[in-house]
Amino acid sequence: MSEAAANQASESYLSSGWRIRDWLLTTDHKRVAWLYTISITAFFFLGGLAALVIRLELMTPDGDVVSADAYNQLFTIHGVVMVWFFLIPSIPNTLGNFLLPLMVGAKDLAFPKLNLISWYIYTVGGLFTIAAVITSGVDTGWTFYTPYSTQFADRAVVAALTGVFVVGFSSIATGINFIVTTHKMRAPGLTWFRLPLFVWANYATSLVMVLATPVLSATLILLILERMMGIGIFDPALGGDPILFQHLFWFYSHPAVYIMILPGMGVVSELITCFSRKTVFGYHGMALSILAISVFGFLVWGHHMFVSGQSLYAGLMFSLFSFFVALPSAIKTFNWTATLYKGKLIFSAVMIYALSFVGLFTIGGFTGIFLASLAVDVHVHDTYFVVAHFHYIMVGSMVTAYIGGLHFWWPKMTGRMYPELWAKVAALALFIGFNLTFFPQYLMGYAGMPRRYQTYPEDFQILHVMSSLGAGVLAIGYLLPLVYLLWSLRWGKRAPPNPWRAAGLEWRTDSPPPKHNFLEPQTVTGPPYDYDTIDNK
Amino acid sequence: MTTTPSTTSKAVPDEQFDDLTQQRQAVLMGMWIFLATELMLFGGIFTAFTVYRFAYPDVFAEAATHLDLKLGTLNTVLLVTSSLFMALAERAVNAERRRLTLTFLLVTISIGVIFLGIKGYEWHHEYTEKLMPILGLEFIYPGANPDRAEMFFNFYYVLTGLHAVHMSMGLVMLTVLVVFTMRWRDPPRLGRQIQINGLYWAFVDVVWVFIFTTQYLLRA
Amino acid sequence: MKDVRAPILAWGAYLVVLGASVAATLLAPGLMGHIFSLLCAAILASLILMFFMGLRAADNLLRVFALAGLMWLTIMVSLTMMDYISRDINECPNAQADDVAINTQECPLDSARSSDKS
Ligand code: HEM
Ligand SMILES: [Cu+2]
């Protein structure tokens, strides 16, 4: 290689190519990860804005901030944006996109063009839906239940469905890309049981994306056809069963909650081992329970339908299966704590995020078990108890893991360090604000406060006000990182290749990595997370 | 079914791959996973069909007799024949036989077009019989339980319609392959492309087998 | 050209099985005929998968993926049917809880929909 060519190869992926087209037409997985990060952040703050208005409205028992109709549209926007345009793509498409090829020692994903296309599909689908929702409004909730969505809602339901349908293709594309990359592009010596748990988690997530998303597409097609062409598959007048929609919807959407949480589990496994300076406790069990979750996750969807009119017999079976899926989740929680045990813990900001995850996931998971018990669910279904349950997992755990991971790999992605003190403040604000927002919701839900209502009896006001104030603190927890991370891009200290002395192939290359990730081909000779060796060097 | 290793200078893999074997395996695997997603897409609709077929067995069996079994069978034969020619095209390109590849591809396409033509004729026929409950068209069903029968026809149009959409996309891709075959730039690469598209085309045939069986054959 | 016999033979076999399936429908309509036709469909599909899609010669991993798709489909159909075999969708959801006579009555939603349709 000539010297000029060698210099060019060792240049970082950020150092040249700053025309618009170098970004919008890039096939470099690291740049596509940034495209996704930008879109996702925008959607996150949009969804957050809707949530803030909702919380503002709920400060008082009467409807005084927005009309009842606007309230319905607000929680629909919030749900649709957060679930489909933020959580589903969040970790896989940002951190996963950036790290998966690095972690397996590959030059790129198996299908780089497909990766870029998936971003366009995602962004166009997302913007389309937002435009539809904002110009004419949708009030079905993120679940689009029939017969309301087919026969009664008179707004831009079709447009919203189309957007969600389109975004599904970007999930499928990502899933295919990740699965093939994990199977076919691993560096020599990187056997399955030497893979970082983050790779396992993204692999399992991709399996779920690939097997579940098409069913959502089919269901949305049926809804769209029913609304537009009068082909009534769920129409009771033709002997159709509206509950069938729920079966198909939850066949996708329960596994989809694992699309949302599994990558978070992967991230946290990386963070905890690194900052306890210890290998993951029970690595094999961790990897296999990730797979088990993604498989068992397909057997439990009926627990969302206990009071829908589904047969009691099916309800019982789904209840039983739901208990099984909690098992591997519990194994993971035990193993994280066992990893901490006797570790040399370092309470950095990243570690605070990781520990928040474990605590909040435990609470969210436990209340999931309550909900999965058929008889208890009859009492708390469609109350704030359910709202608190899934926010503990999706926001408390998943978003925390995402932000924690973003901090952990920020030096790798940007070549800059962030201000540690501010990060600690933000992490604590997040933990405190989150609990203040959502713990009261368990209490009011258990006491009977239904979800999706704009007005409520005065008895609930104290809890609602606490929740709204907490949301304010939480918002600070999210806005702070936005500010100091952007600040660090310019003024942060330059990052060395491995600032945390972490294990994993991604730390062997420069920060930020060169265009083709590694200057020489990598080989792997030992087990993952070998922190004893690293620390004794 | 291995592709003959090529010795031409063009045989370099895309930049993210180490070698051509890795690339070929990756693409093949990607395609099979994609087909699994297609299976689940149609699977969702078949699941819904199963529910109603089970709930209204007699009405659905009766309604199925209103479809044209002769044309349906003919179409099934046509489609499998086109799959055969697609498989032959794959073997021809691997043997580096340009004219033969081209012929087989064109036969595949023609049969596909005839299939769609017949399907369109069937739809038109059902339209004139007033058995098309779409877009508010009149639905006049001669048997008992016209509402449940309408549900049967709903499924029939959803399934055959979605299948026709897949056929059309397949035809577009095959047409592109014809152009590539005429140019004949990089036969091993063309061989891989034909293999991948062949998988898709055959899969669309698999779906049709189940559409044909559940809609036409489960009759009274 | 290598291996053209296998696909042509598979095509022949396909036509025979298809013929049997259609004949069964015509000669023995009803449950047995339907089960036979569905079995034939499985055979037809496997013929295509094996001979036209090269699953016969493919490596094990691809077979696993193909099987996984099939298994997930089975999960979806069977767990959905778990609900429907234990419930009559023509009945009002709470019919059993009320009077016995209610079974002869139409569901309120059903009648409301069909009346405003006409
Ligand atoms: C430990 C395993 C889990 C169990 C046993 C469980 C159980 C349940 C049950 C039974 C419900 C239905 C409650 C009702 O509507 O009455 C529910 C709702 C929900 N869960 Fe979980 N869950 C678990 C984990 C998760 C995870 C990991 C997530 C997300 C990442 C999640 C997200 C949700 C959501 C979004 C809903 C509400 C959906 C809606 O109606 O809008 N759950 N969960
Ligand atoms: Cu669930």
Over range B114-131, report the average pLDDT.
97
Kindly determine whether residue C75 and residue A298, on different chains, have CB atoms separated by under 8 Å: yes
Residue in B with minimal Cα distance to A246:
B48
Over range A350-370, report the average pLDDT.
96
Which residues touch A401 (CB under 8 Å, ≥6 apart)? A91, A263, A264, A265, A267, A268, A353, A354, A357
Concatenate the DSSP letters of all residues of B85-111 into one string. Answer: HHHHHHHHHHTT-HHHHHHHHHHHHHH
Q: Per-residue pLDDT tens for C45-79?
A: 999 999 999 888 888 899 999 999 999 999 999 99
Q: Per-residue pLDDT tens for A490-521?
A: 999 999 999 999 999 999 999 999 999 999 88
**CA-based end-to-end distance of chain C:** 64
Helices B69-94 and C5-27, packing angle to 10 deg:
170
Domain ranges in chain B? 33-217
Asked if ipTM goes beyond 0.90, one says yes
Residue C62 resides in a domain: no
The whole-angstrom separation of Cα B24 and Cα A302 is 41
Q: What is the count of structural domains for chain A?
A: 1
Residue in A with minimal Cα distance to C89:
A241
Burial of B71 (0-12, 13-18, 19+ CB in 10 A): middle
High-pLDDT (> 70) share of chain A, %: 99
The pLDDT value given to residue C111:
43
Which residues touch B54 (CB under 8 Å, ≥6 apart)? C81, C84, C85
Across chain A, mean pLDDT equals: 94
Q: Can you give the C-alpha Rg of chain C in angstroms?
A: 23
Which CATH number goes with the domain that contains A303? 1.20.210.10
- Tokens 């258990």 correspond to A446
The pLDDT value given to residue B10:
58
Residues of chain A in contact with residue C110, where contact means CB-CB under 8 angstroms, are 236-237
High-pLDDT (> 90) share of chain A, %: 91
Residue C70 resides in a domain: no
Q: Is CATH 1.20.120.80 what the domain over B33-217 is classified as, yes or no? A: yes
Instruction: Tell me the residues of chain A between 328 and 387 that have a Cβ less than 8 Å away from chain C.
Output: none
Confidence of residue A3 (pLDDT cuts 50, 70, 90): low
Kindly determine whether residue B95 and residue C2, on different chains, have CB atoms separated by under 8 Å: yes
| Interface mutation vs chain B, best among A208, A219, A221, A238, most B CBs within 10 Å | A238
- Given the CA of residue A394, which atom of ligand 1 is nearest to it? 30
Residue C7 resides in a domain: yes
Which of A76, A86, A257 to mutate to test ligand 1, by most ligand atoms within 8 A of the CB atom?
A257
The pLDDT value given to residue A536:
86
Q: Per-residue pLDDT tens for A193-252?
A: 999 999 999 999 999 999 999 999 999 999 999 999 989 899 999 999 999 999 999 999
> What's the gap in Å between A252 CA and the centre of ligand 1?
13
Chains in contact with C, where contact means 3 or more Cβ–Cβ distances below 8 Å, are A, B
- Tokens 């349950």 correspond to A389
Across chain B, mean pLDDT equals: 93
Residue C78 resides in a domain: no
Residues of chain B in contact with residue C57, where contact means CB-CB under 8 angstroms, are 1
Q: Judge whether A79 and A141 are in contact, CB under 8 Å.
A: yes
Over range C5-28, report the average pLDDT.
96
- Identify any residues that bridge with A514 across adjacent strands, giving them in sequence order: A12
The pLDDT value given to residue B76:
98
Over range A28-50, report the average pLDDT.
96
- CB contacts < 8 A, A to B, total 115
Over range A406-416, report the average pLDDT.
97
The pLDDT value given to residue C92:
59
CB atoms within 10 A of CB B116: 16
The pLDDT value given to residue C112:
39
Q: Judge whether A161 and A223 are in contact, CB under 8 Å.
A: yes
Nearest CA among A258, A238, A68, A70 for reference residue A146: A238
Residues of chain C in contact with residue B210, where contact means CB-CB under 8 angstroms, are 41, 45
The whole-angstrom separation of Cα A93 and Cα A109 is 12
The answer, yes or no, to whether residue C105 has pLDDT greater than 90, is no
> What's the gap in Å between A390 CA and the centre of ligand 1?
6
> What's the gap in Å between B3 CA and the centre of ligand 1?
48
Residue C48 is part of which domain span? 1-56
Q: Distance from CA of residue A175 to its chain's centroid?
A: 14
What are the tokens at A33? Answer: 């990860």
The answer, yes or no, to whether residue C103 has pLDDT greater than 70, is no
Q: What is the count of structural domains for chain C?
A: 1
Nearest CA among A467, C45, A535, A24 for reference residue B80: C45
The pLDDT value given to residue A5:
62
**Is the Cβ of C3 closer than 8 Å to some Cβ of chain B?**
yes
- Given the CA of residue A307, which atom of ligand 1 is nearest to it? 16
Residues of chain C in contact with residue B47, where contact means CB-CB under 8 angstroms, are 73, 76-77, 80
Rounded to 5 degrees, φ, ψ at A299 are: -105, 5
Confidence of residue A4 (pLDDT cuts 50, 70, 90): low
- Tokens 């659905």 correspond to B60
Which residues touch A20 (CB under 8 Å, ≥6 apart)? none
Residue A5 resides in a domain: no
> What's the gap in Å between A389 CA and the centre of ligand 1?
7
**CA-based end-to-end distance of chain B:** 43
